[in-house]
Structure 1
């Protein structure tokens, strides 16, 4: 069903672009045919970029993925620009209602809109590529935690999520993230899901630098939805081999001197379809309510259960901060937080933009980040 809906949207978008960028701006059948064939080719390229990595492998499909994903971004912003330009077109149409159609003016306006959209879309995508492929921003956020023992004042948790190793992001991306995280000298590293878009056989080498993460308490991780699409059990085994600690609906104590707080983790909600769903009861039952608890959960929406169970702070990713403006408005309809720090009842929720991207190597209005959470 998802594939059929996505395919229908793709077809409708290309039909709209053909109407506005080909039919409305050309006078001859020949040029309309050329434009139609070009858009059909781009549509097929898009489908290939989305589907072929799972069929022929990531390495073999890499040369298709770059142009296919970039066209998705350009296509989207062409649509947005042309949609905005529909407003003045409609105003002029209403003003001239009942008058004979001036074909030369209609052609001039159609070509003008095509030029504006044709310049704006690649420009926005180009700026977004620089943001997506550049080094993540290092954010530092202080969070006050109830019942936190003074021994943990200033305790730093480096949060990283949505690394999305795949056809575009590889080992060099992981090496840069590890270097940047280690430079923050964290007390602990929290990876909150969506490490890779492929199997360990395809991307295991790209993930290997994670073994070089350095912190006093170590690196803890939970699954995201993309782990389940990529073979979650093999990735759990691989990350364990690299020295990372998996929190599967469980918790551990972080101690300093005679003080401690609970660190818990739950699986992603997508795990329910793989007999591996989140279990807050297992993760939080029988704990000492006098001690604070920090929870790792991939999706912000899981904070609703966390708040009911008295969690002090939930660390999440998944949203990419919207990744491509204005998608954050759609994400807001699904998640209680899109980016940054917020509060749900008595539970703090921090959502990182993530350190990678999914699909187009483009970020507009949502730069990648690594966040250092300092407990107060």
Structure 2
């Protein structure tokens, strides 16, 4: 018994020490990440065997150092207490540019160089320069295309979703989903108008916004959010809060959405009835609300379903996909979420998967629950979308007892 206890104690000590080292490493991540983001492409493009003329090497290195210094300062001034929109635009743009350069410096710096070496193309210096121009060319094309993708009005993604418990009277119910509009430093008032016009053209029964309405206070982003007041639905316009609402006076956004005529599903539900059948439409605050310290804010599924008939199908709005574990336990039929942006700039979706169970699309969890994760309608931070297009989603709910057409 003593040996076993000592072994367990030793294992526990080792595990605790490992977790402690990991926590220490995570503390330095905000310092390490920006350095890698700019140092890796600087090395690959300028110093990995190219032998550029000294003025080119020094000037290029100075540009990368300037990016390394400017990006965090601009982001702190833009997204910190000062909330300077111009600084935010500069910092966000540098972040996106640095990420794209880093990604393709790593990929082409290894794969293209290896391919050229195997093919016996040129000497080491010429191969290094080919890699440099390839990285710069690919990055320029992706950044230009990604900017256009981020700023355009999203395409509509339509799909049928069968819910086994949905009554035939509700078959064909049209649910329009927008999320992560992220009205922010770049003025997108006209974009917002066009998005709302496109939503109205869908003639949806229910229009949902699953949070992250904006970055900044409601008063600062009022002009961009105002077109939400023009959205039409035959039954209801409903929304829940996202994590970014809790970074910028959440109650102000609740008040503005109320002013614009949207119904809050903050740990509550409403009933959608048609053809003698009923669907429970519920919503919860974002999970970050629980630590926000704001009175009355928190993600409470039990409260959201309080008084609802447990035999009825439930459509749940929850900002983050990772709420799905609670949804499964609560017997939810379909959860609608956003938050991930589909990764926004490839291959960031691999990092998103560390924190979220899904990145985009329809997925099944447990025996009953479906989750639809939208790639988002807008963008956060860097004004780029690379291999992660934005979307307005139209989900057509289907019943297994679909009424036959005469």
- Both proteins in one fold, TM over 0.5: yes
Rounded to whole Å, the distance in 1 between the matches of 2:71 and 2:394 is 37
| Residue 80 of structure 2 corresponds to residue 80 of structure 1 | no
1:145 to 163, 188, 212: 163
Deviation at 1:128, TM superposition (A): 1.5
Query: 1:195-216 deviations in whole A, cap 9, x for unaligned?
Result: 1011112101211111111112
Q: Match of 2:36?
A: 12
Inter-partner Cα distance in structure 2 for 1:206 and 1:92? 50
CA distance in 2, matches of 1:78, 1:264: 43
In structure 1, what is the Cα distance between the partners aligned to 2:242 and 2:317? 11
Do 2:45 and 2:105's aligned partners in 1 also have CA atoms closer than 8 Å?
no
Q: C-alpha displacement at 1:6, in angstroms? A: 2.7
Which deviates more, 109-118 or 32-41? Answer: 32-41
Asked if 2 retains the 8 angstrom alpha-carbon contact of 1:319 and 1:331, the reply is yes
Q: Which residue of 2 aligns with 1:99?
A: none
- Are residues 1:284 and 2:309 paired? no
Q: Deviations over 1:190-246 (max 9, x none)?
A: 100101011112101211111111112221100111111111111111111111111
**Matched residue, 1:110:** 128
Match of 1:310 in 2: 331
Contact 2:152 2:191 in 1 (8 A): no
Q: Bigger shift: 252-261 or 306-315? A: 252-261
Secondary structure of the residue aligned to 2:220 is helix
SS in 2 for 1:202: coil
In the alignment, the residues of structure 2 paired with residue 249 and residue 73 of structure 1 have an alpha-carbon distance, to the nearest angstrom, of 35
Are 1:269 and 2:287 counterparts? Answer: yes
Q: In the TM superposition, what is the alpha-carbon distance from 1:335 to its structure 2 partner? A: 1.9
Pick aligned residue for 2:392 from 352, 365, 370: 370
Counterpart in the other structure of 1:35: 60
Q: CA deviation at 1:118?
A: 0.9
- For structure 2, the residue ranges without an aligned partner over 5 or more in a row are 1-23, 399-406
Return the alpha-carbon distance in structure 2 between the equivalents of residues 37 and 11 of structure 1. Answer: 14
Residue 127 in 1 paired to residue 131 in 2?
no
Q: State the secondary structure of the residue aligned to 1:267.
A: coil
Contact 2:240–2:266 (CA under 8 A) maintained in structure 1: yes
Secondary structure of 2:392's counterpart equals strand
Deviation at 1:19, TM superposition (A): 1.9
Unaligned runs of 5+ in 1: 97-103
Alignment counterpart, residue 329 of structure 1, candidates 339, 343, 350: 350
Shift of 1:52: 2.0
Residue 26 of structure 1: how far off its partner (Å): 4.0
The 5-angstrom pairing of residues 184-223 of structure 1 reads: 184-223=202-241
Count residues in correspondence.
Answer: 367
Q: Is the contact made by 1:42 and 1:68 (CA closer than 8 Å) also made in structure 2?
A: no
For normalisation by structure 1, the TM-score amounts to 0.90
1:93 Cα deviation from its structure 2 partner: 8.8
Which string of whole-angstrom CA distances, capped at 9 and with x for unpartnered residues, describes residues 40-88 of structure 1?
2222332244222245866x533x4445433323322222222122246
The alpha carbon displacement at 1:30 in A equals: 4.4
- 1:70 matched to 2:93? The reply is yes
CA distance, structure 1, for counterparts of residue 248 and residue 349 of structure 2: 25
